Chains A and B, each alone.
Chain A
Amino acid sequence: MKLSVCNLNSHYGPAHILFDIGLEVGEGEVVALLGRNGAGKSTTFRSIVGLVELREGQIMFEGRDISKAPTHEIVRSGLGYVPEERRIFTELSVEENLEVGRQPQRPNAPHWTREKLYQLFPNLGEMKNRPGGRMSGGEQQMLTIARTLMGNPSLVLLDEPSEGLSPKIVEQMVDAILTMKKAGVSMVVSEQNLHFARLISDRAYIIERGRICFSGTMAELDARPDIRDAHLSI
Chain B
Amino acid sequence: MSSETKQILTTDGIPLEVSLKKAEKKNKIKAFLLVAPLLLFLVITYIFPIGDMFMRSVDDRMVTNMLPKTFKAMEKWENLDELPPEEVYRGFYEDYKLLAENQQHGKLGQRLNKEKNGFNTITKKLFRQIKRKKIDESASLKEQINKLHKRWRDVEYWQAIKRTAPPYTASKYLKGMDMYFAADGSIAQVDEDRRIHRILWLRTLEIAFFVTLFCFFMGYPIAHLLATLPMKYSNLLMICVLLPFWTSLLVRTASWMILLQQQGIVNDFFVMTGLVADDNRPEMMYNKVGTYVAMTQILLPFMVLPLYSVMKTISPSLMRAGKSLGGTPFVAFWKVYFPLTIPGIGAGCLLVFILAIGYYITPALVGGASGTLISNQIAFHMKTTLDWSFASAMGLMLLTGVLVIYWIYNKLVGVDNIKLG
Q: Check if A and B associate.
A: no
Q: Which residues does B use to contact A, with CB under 8 Å?
A: none
